[in-house]
Amino acid sequence: MCGIVGYVGNKIAKDYLLDGLETLEYRGYDSAGIATLEGDTIRATKVVGRVEQLRKEEGQNPHVGSVGIGHTRWATHGGVVTKNAHPHHDMNEEFFVVHNGIIENYEEIKSFLLSKGYSFYSDTDTEVVPNLIAYHYSKTNNVTTAFQAALETLRGAYALTMITTHEPESLYVAKLSSPLAIGVADDELLVGSDALPIASRTQDVVFLEDGEMAVLNQEGYKILDIETKKSIERATEFIEIEEADGGLRGFDDFMSKEINEAPATVRSAMLGRLRVEEKLIKLGGLELVEEQLRYIDRIVVVACGTSYYAGLVGEYLLEEIAGIPVEVQQASEFRYRTEPLSRSTAVLVVSQSGETADTIAALKKLDGSGILTLGIVNAPGSTLARMTDAGVYCHAGPEKAVASTKAFVSQVTVFLLIALHLSKTYKDYEKIINELDTLPQLMEEVLKNSTDIKKLAEKYSDSKDFLYIGRRYSFPLALEGALKLKEISYIHAEGFAAGEMKHGPLALIDENFPTFAYALSSDINEKTISNMQEIKTRGGKIIAVVDDKNSNAAKLADDYILIPKVSEQLQPLIGALPAFLFAYYAAKKLGRDIDKPRNLAKSVTVE
């Protein structure tokens, strides 16, 4: 999962390449590189580290060419060292390629090329591609034919961009399973793994489909079907992209900025949709499928990571409020599962980026099935937004920190809106609508009191392990809280349904294994308090999230975090904040790279 860019036009390529790579760093950030045509040769600059380092390195010897490619890497094959950073070239340095995806049959291709006398310098799967193109070029003397022939051999997933000394005015691109967009501006064509880097120059975009390649030059772009070699006419579409807000606005990092944007995110997700006076939820994105929705009697929610946990909250909401049976599946499982789905089932994908490989593959599996597909997506114009039949955008704005926070909150808000929209007879319908309207203010109160959470996080930051527990609506919060802590602080953390404690996790508890317990008001809170008691009895320390400081939970806990009391269905929105802040401050105390934690990427574009 890497970010790729390409440029052909009448300006200096590297300006777009470097800016574009910065926008795409959410796809990976362990190394970066660019290559441009400089006279008769191609020159590459590569670094281990961030695009910022690449800029510095490039500044020592600036690239001036106006045709080029660039890459920001998240390593799959081969360690994080300069020789494995992209762009990769053939042994004669005539074909340079950047690649997002995995070439599954690279070993086979490599053996073949070795037998033909080709040599290799890196440990990557990608390096076979420029050499295979070079091999076919040696046979045909035609770049288009060579590129096409090489692509026909590749198995796996790729978005590829290539430049060559044999056709110095052209840029070649191809796609199979990994997204690729071409921006068409005056006097220049811009390539990106998605439309985000392109948006700074143009909003007229063409998306390649699987099995297609294109040749780009000053005259324009020509799309070809790789297999049939037939040319394909495709006009540009105008893409609405929310301008990336590059600034930290005084925050130390994007994660704290985004946590603090959570109340605004909820407002924005509700804007124009929550009609308090009319006691109505209006969801324009679902209007087209309103009729079909009436016949839906089951929803399968499919997502990854934090979006999956938002889906688990959605399950409770849709089942209780809308009365529709829901099942939530991880996209990586759903895509390979043999499961009968009836036509009265809708599949609802949830994704911040709209570019997660497994979630895209899950939707592809449904091609031609007639199943209604819906999306809760944050990134407008993204692959998933375009693939679904209908959906509701989150409108959370760009999220930059790898750990998802405001997107989770917006996804849960959208689930709540959909549940209310689909509900016919829910007893607390009006109550929830009224409460939702004032919820952002209550969320702001939690953020104002973040100093107390900071002190607690610092106090517990030397723990090696953490348990998170909760019941019903707080159960997904426990899972999400544990994920947040492990991904940014690297403290081992597990989330469990409080009722499952006795089935294993309790064995872990001692004075060094603290528990973060959600003990918010509900008719079953006493059950959670009993579980807390069992932990205390075994010497475990407890931090409880409570909404009543006189509750038994607050009394029992070693420390507690007090949040405003709301209806249980709204608790995940406000209850997520203490877990986000706790993880954030623990990671900060430990000196972690908060926005770009080790080994992770914002958008997982390979499976």
Distances in Å between the Cα of 253 and the Cα atoms of 258, 401, 578, 584, 588 are 9, 8, 18, 10, 10
Using only the alpha carbons of the chain, give its radius of gyration: 26
Region for 270 from its dihedrals, namely left if φ exceeds 0, alpha if ψ lies in -120 to 50, beta otherwise: alpha
CB of 306 to ligand G6P, least distance (A): 3
CA dihedral angle for residue 400, residue 401, residue 406, residue 409, rounded to 10 degrees: 120
Phi, psi of 72 (to 5 degrees): -125, 130
In this complex, which beta carbon is closest to ligand G6P, that of residue 410 or of residue 423? 410
CB of 419 to ligand G6P, least distance (A): 20
CB of 28 to ligand G6P, least distance (A): 11
In this complex, which beta carbon is closest to ligand G6P, that of residue 97 or of residue 581? 581
**CA angle centred on 583, ends 581 and 584, rounded to 5°:** 60
CB of 411 to ligand G6P, least distance (A): 8
CB 99 within 8 A of CB 159: yes
CB of 338 to ligand G6P, least distance (A): 24
CB of 245 to ligand G6P, least distance (A): 18
Helix axis angle for 571-589 and 429-448, nearest 10°, is: 20
In this complex, which beta carbon is closest to ligand G6P, that of residue 216 or of residue 477? 477
Which stretches of the chain bind ligand G6P, using CB under 6 A? 304-307, 351-353, 356, 359, 402-404, 600, 602-604
Closest CA to 174 of 199, 197, 157, 196: 157
CB of 206 to ligand G6P, least distance (A): 23
Pairing assessment for the beta strands 88-89 and 95-103 based on DSSP bridges: antiparallel
In this complex, which beta carbon is closest to ligand G6P, that of residue 131 or of residue 178? 178
CB of 66 to ligand G6P, least distance (A): 33
CB of 493 to ligand G6P, least distance (A): 15
CB of 384 to ligand G6P, least distance (A): 8
Which sequence positions are flagged as catalytic? 2, 602
In this complex, which beta carbon is closest to ligand G6P, that of residue 98 or of residue 483? 483
Cβ atoms within 10 A of the Cβ of 82, count?
Answer: 12
Kindly state the DSSP code that residue 347 receives in the 8-state scheme: E
Pairing assessment for the beta strands 559-562 and 542-546 based on DSSP bridges: parallel
Coil, strand or helix at 199: helix
| Residue nearest ligand G6P, Cβ-based | 305
CB 388 within 8 A of CB 347: no
Amino acid, res. 170: S
In this complex, which beta carbon is closest to ligand G6P, that of residue 74 or of residue 513? 74
CB of 573 to ligand G6P, least distance (A): 17
CB 353 within 8 A of CB 603: yes
CB 176 within 8 A of CB 210: yes
Q: Which runs of consecutive H residues, i.e. helices, occur in 271-356?
A: 290-293, 305-317, 331-334
Phi, psi of 449 (to 5 degrees): -95, 25
In this complex, which beta carbon is closest to ligand G6P, that of residue 321 or of residue 604? 604
Would you give the distance in Å from CA 485 to the centre of its chain? 18
| Sign, CA torsion 258/262/268/270 | positive
In this complex, which beta carbon is closest to ligand G6P, that of residue 75 or of residue 173? 75
Per DSSP, the residues of 359-406 read HHHHHHHTTTS--EEEEEESSTT-HHHHHSSEEEE-------SSS--H
Q: How far apart are CA 303 and CA 490, in angstroms?
A: 23
In this complex, which beta carbon is closest to ligand G6P, that of residue 73 or of residue 201? 73
CA dihedral angle for residue 226, residue 229, residue 234, residue 240, rounded to 10 degrees: 10
Kindly state the DSSP code that residue 177 receives in the 8-state scheme: B
**244: its two tokens:** 């990336």
In this complex, which beta carbon is closest to ligand G6P, that of residue 124 or of residue 353? 353
Q: How far apart are CA 584 and CA 259, in angstroms?
A: 9
Q: Mind spelling out the 3-state secondary structure of 235-249?
A: CCEECCCCCCCCCCC
In this complex, which beta carbon is closest to ligand G6P, that of residue 332 or of residue 522? 332
Cβ atoms within 10 A of the Cβ of 338, count?
Answer: 4
Kindly state the DSSP code that residue 343 receives in the 8-state scheme: T
